[in-house]
Structure 1
């Protein structure tokens, strides 16, 4: 089981998330403010830290401050922001500090579990519409890369639809709902897209699509 630390200043939120994750992920610790979060991450060395953006304590930097003070662990510990906020400044601040993804608290429990597993595996994960904030902030859209017919011709029309949604940060379940297909069919299309484009992860797919201005 993947080991997870929950960081949120609301006890009821932590209890609810712990209950949602209990079936297939191991919650090994919790923290409610910046100092205890930093201490817990260094002591427990989890696979993934589920990190709220707005936290009390410390120097007032919230989740971004936790990330900066845990920079020595970023190669081994992955951080996924979980917040009620969908403000661009909040998203960009924690991604700049080292988080691998950002999802809002409107996410369903099984999708949150999936997001944690994907972040642990090295993917970048975002709730729909939030990925654009990151792409804009890091300037990937400014790169002038022409899309050759050959590149897109490798993908069927349906694979191109799936590719764009996945690259924007949609979960498999959200893609399935958007395109009225099964989750299994989405998984098949994603595997085909990655294989045809010779990419190894959703994170690489997002960058591939961004620099070609396909989002």
Structure 2
């Protein structure tokens, strides 16, 4: 199986070097840039699977890179990686088209998982940024269905109490490892519950689950 092709955009060389080291051999880093203009040129030339994008960059910021290339490169996924957890930064890049937003406190293992999930089309964000991300989806996504009464939603009735707990943490962006730690269960058990949740709710991925949970007032 081919490795995910990743392009790094950050204005600090030491940060880029650290991210490269953390990603290791799980991905193929096809280029890197320190400012908007260089990033736009490099991403256009390499057409990566995923762009790891800092929010604050010389020349206009991460959202400027996205706005320049998103329509041109529909197959490229964008994951913001920033020290900032400010609401305005999160919402700006999500509205511009990023598929996720994680802070630089993320572990190497979780960053690799985030890149993999974004490459597969999922939405990924640090758990405490969930509210910002949902605000951005509401502002830019399709009009949501009318909110259902959680007590009468037929899909919810199919879930066990434990599956509901897992579902809510998944929808809020927690990783399997974090969910396992919070619920005192193994990662394999979390994976099993997650699979059951998606199957019972007839959903394909975490993005759809997050929207379903928000619509049903379960976040």
State which of 179, 182, 187 in structure 2 corresponds to 1:183: 187
Shift in alpha-carbon separation, 1:5–1:199, aligned structure 2, 3 A: same
Aligned to 2:149: 146
What CA distance in whole angstroms lies between the structure 2 residues aligned with 1:194 and 1:167? Answer: 11
Partner SS state of residue 85, structure 2: coil
Q: Is the 8 A contact 2:47 2:73 kept in 1?
A: no
- Corresponding residue pairs, total: 212
Mind listing any 5+ residue stretches in structure 1 that lack a counterpart?
Answer: none
Aligned to 1:130: 129
What CA distance in whole angstroms lies between the structure 2 residues aligned with 1:46 and 1:135? Answer: 26
Aligned to 1:75: 74
Deviation at 1:141, TM superposition (A): 8.7
Q: Is the 8 A contact 1:38 1:69 kept in 2?
A: yes
Aligned to 1:114: 113
Mind listing any 5+ residue stretches in structure 2 that lack a counterpart?
Answer: none
Deviation at 1:10, TM superposition (A): 0.5
Q: Is the 8 A contact 2:51 2:78 kept in 1?
A: yes
Aligned to 1:4: 6
Partner SS state of residue 29, structure 2: strand
Partner SS state of residue 127, structure 2: coil
Partner SS state of residue 21, structure 1: helix
Partner SS state of residue 50, structure 1: strand
Q: Is the 8 A contact 1:79 1:101 kept in 2?
A: yes
Deviation at 1:143, TM superposition (A): 4.8
Q: Is the 8 A contact 2:91 2:135 kept in 1?
A: no
Relative to the length of structure 1, the TM-score reads 0.94
Partner SS state of residue 113, structure 1: helix
Deviation at 1:176, TM superposition (A): 1.2
Aligned to 1:37: 39
Relative to the length of structure 2, the TM-score reads 0.93
Aligned to 1:198: 202
Partner SS state of residue 22, structure 1: helix
- Give deviations 1:97-129, integer Å, cap 9, x for gaps: 000000000100011010001001110101012
Deviation at 1:74, TM superposition (A): 4.4
Partner SS state of residue 51, structure 2: strand
